[in-house]
Structure 1
Amino acid sequence: MKLTNETKVGLLAIVSIVVLVLGFNFLKGKSLFSKTPVLFAEFSNIGTLEKSNQVKINGLPVGTVYTMVPKDMEVNKIIVEIHLSREVNIPKNSVAFIDGPLVGGAFINITKGDANVYLASGDTISTKLDQGLISDIKAQITPTITRVNETLDSLKLTIGAMNDIFDPNTKNNMRSLIANLAISSGHLQQMLNVQSGMLGKSLSNMNSITGNLAANNDAITSSIRNVEVTTSKLANSNIDGTVAAMQATINELKNTISSFNSSKGTLGLLMNDRGIYDRLDNMTNRLNTVALSAEILFDDIRVHPKRYVNISVFGGKNKGEPLTSPVAKDTLVVKQ
């Protein structure tokens, strides 16, 4: 029987359609030649989960997501159909949640329980709402980003205010200030120079001083020892007795001065009695008068000795007038 060209084209089209359907189902994770175990899970939010995304247990892929349909018209829950690609025992108290890496699509992660009874095909696994690693990072980063945005806004306002403050004159002043700082730093570098700087010279002087101290260490030690000996002698000396003797002497001096100031005793009477003072003054004046008269008499005897001693056979000569005041000693002339 000879097939026509139209029949050949029809058969080829049918085979192509079958291969296309089988390949599409294979890419979706369906088993083509055996019955696949099916589990169901209900989530209130599936996030970025899509069909054919993996289902993992302890990081190992064990199935794929087949379909996702709403449970009711309000879409309060979403039923996810999971087709297992491996024969694994999943305890009934296991929990499924949606997780996702930093880079890549979301997947369903199953945390195994410890029950001895396992889920069968067609059972519904328990779920929990877990935002996953990316959601946790977003939740932690979002407040930081908000604060960064607020800081940037404040920085913009600050920069604007600084632009208003820094007029051309202020900018020139800032340039001058920076230039002065550069000059000052150069001077500071010169001062800190080890060889020619003031600090280097000061350190050299300090080294000389410390060298002299080290060279005279024995003399310094001897001086300190002498000071220790002197202080030891002072500590052992009878300072209290000396101080007591000095205090007694001071007390006696006070008593003597007090007796001078009082009207008791000879010195006190002489110092405080006005009558005695007047009598002594009169006596002094009289003594001065007697001394003056005596001096005049002695001068008159020297000047006119013949007035007092006269031995003459034929009569005396003119004796002259008597003196009334002392004669100056540098012009005294004795007449013969």
Structure 2
Amino acid sequence: MKITNETKVGALTALAITLLILGFNFLKGKSLFKTGNFLYAKVVQTKGIMVSNPVLINGYQVGAIYDLKAKSKNLDTIIVAIKLNEEINIPVNSIASIVDNPLGSARMEISKGNSNIFLKKNDTIPTMDAPGMFAEVTHQLTPVVDQVKMTLRTVDTVLRDIHDVFDPYTKHNMQDLVANLNRISAGLVVSTASIQQMLNQQSGSIAKSMDNINSFTRNLANNNDRINGTLTNLQTTTDNLSRADIDGTVNQLRQTVERLNASIEKIDSKDGTIGKLLNDTQIYDNLNNTTRSLNILMDDIRVNPKRYVSISVFGGKSKDQYLTSPLQVSQDTTGTRR
């Protein structure tokens, strides 16, 4: 049977179309027959992921997106078929999430769990909606924007309050306050100059005080030996005092005071001789009478000496009466007693 050229062209065309379809699907990551290790994930938002987009674990591509299919006409859930390049042990508590990239294509990342049980072929892996970069930035900026809005409202309120407070009277008070601040600043300048003068290394009072302190410390250093000797003597004195029988001395002193008090009590009483001399008025009267008699005797001897000492060749004793009272003492202008 002879094959015509038209048949040959038709067969070649069909073969070319078939190869084109197979090559296109191969480039998309799909083969003519569904073979290999597949996993499935249910997502709500695909975030622009396409067939043949990579599937990564810890940044390493372990497979690609094989197919996307809506579970229902409402598009509530989309089933993503994942074809793994090789057999990989993925824990059953691992989580898959779609990460969008505004500068490139979206990808699916699988965060490995810690379970010892692994997913099998055609199992469904749990998913989690991961926020995109812009969503994360927006989420981070939202509190900042709210704070800025609150700050602007507060600033607006403060400005209105300031506008209400700054009436002409208040402005005048503010001017007076600024004038007072200027005077205070001038006073601070003067005070600073005075402090600078005090801190002057040549003529400042602080420098003189430091010189006096240095002189004092120098004198202490020069008299260090004397000070040490004085301290040694003081230490020796304190040691002697610590070794002295202070309690015995105090007891002896107490006994002496008690004896002295007893003696004073005896003197105050009329039992002893000294007490009688001090307290008996009769002794005072006797002494007073004795003194008076002695004065009379001395006056009588002065007035009538012949009565007591008689030296006479022809005459006899004086027969004048004895004195019975002291003579009146008189003095002349020269101060001589008569």
1:261 shift after superposition: 3.0
Give the partner amino acid of 2:275.
G
Is the contact between residue 30 and residue 83 of structure 1 (CA under 8 Å) also seen in structure 2?
no
Cα RMSD after superposing both structures: 5.2
Evaluate the alpha carbon distance shift between residue 297 and residue 194 of structure 1 in structure 2; reply closer, same or farther with a 3 A threshold. same
Evaluate the alpha carbon distance shift between residue 90 and residue 183 of structure 1 in structure 2; reply closer, same or farther with a 3 A threshold. farther
1:252 shift after superposition: 0.8
Q: Which residue of 2 aligns with 1:15?
A: none
1:147 shift after superposition: 6.6
1:284 shift after superposition: 4.8
Evaluate the alpha carbon distance shift between residue 162 and residue 107 of structure 1 in structure 2; reply closer, same or farther with a 3 A threshold. farther
1:253 shift after superposition: 0.7
Evaluate the alpha carbon distance shift between residue 191 and residue 80 of structure 1 in structure 2; reply closer, same or farther with a 3 A threshold. farther
1:68 shift after superposition: 8.4
TM-score by length of 2: 0.58
Give the partner amino acid of 1:56.
L
Q: Which residue of 2 aligns with 1:35?
A: 31
1:249 shift after superposition: 1.3
Q: Which residue of 1 aligns with 2:111?
A: 111
Evaluate the alpha carbon distance shift between residue 188 and residue 34 of structure 1 in structure 2; reply closer, same or farther with a 3 A threshold. same
**Aligned-partner Cα distance in 1 for 2:39–2:205:** 88
Q: Structure 2: any 5+ residue segments left out of the alignment?
A: 1-20, 315-319
**Aligned-partner Cα distance in 2 for 1:331–1:312:** 36
1:255 shift after superposition: 0.8
Give the partner amino acid of 2:85.
E
1:325 has 2:306 as partner = no
How does 1:1-336 map onto structure 2 within 5 Å? Answer: 31=27, 35=31, 40-44=40-44, 49-52=47-50, 55-60=55-60, 63=64, 71=72, 73=74, 77-79=76-78, 81=80, 87-89=85-87, 93=92, 94-99=94-99, 107-112=107-112, 119=121, 124-131=124-131, 164=165, 167-168=173-174, 169-272=176-279, 276-277=280-281, 279-287=282-290, 289-294=292-297, 296-297=299-300, 300-301=303-304, 325-328=328-331, 330=334, 332=336
Q: Which residue of 1 aligns with 2:317?
A: none
Q: Structure 1: any 5+ residue segments left out of the alignment?
A: 1-21, 314-318
Which sits farther off after the overlay, 149-158 or 211-220? Answer: 149-158
Give the partner amino acid of 1:79.
I
1:54 shift after superposition: 6.0
**Aligned-partner Cα distance in 1 for 2:100–2:196:** 60
SS at match of 1:127: coil
**Aligned-partner Cα distance in 1 for 2:118–2:313:** 185
Deviations 1:65-85 (A, max 9, x none): 986868564x6x44264676x
**Aligned-partner Cα distance in 1 for 2:135–2:200:** 60
SS at match of 2:108: strand
**Aligned-partner Cα distance in 2 for 1:257–1:101:** 120
Is the contact between residue 55 and residue 64 of structure 2 (CA under 8 Å) also seen in structure 1?
yes
Deviations 1:219-260 (A, max 9, x none): 222222222223233333343333332222111111112223
Evaluate the alpha carbon distance shift between residue 78 and residue 201 of structure 1 in structure 2; reply closer, same or farther with a 3 A threshold. farther
TM-score by length of 1: 0.58
**Aligned-partner Cα distance in 2 for 1:160–1:150:** 15
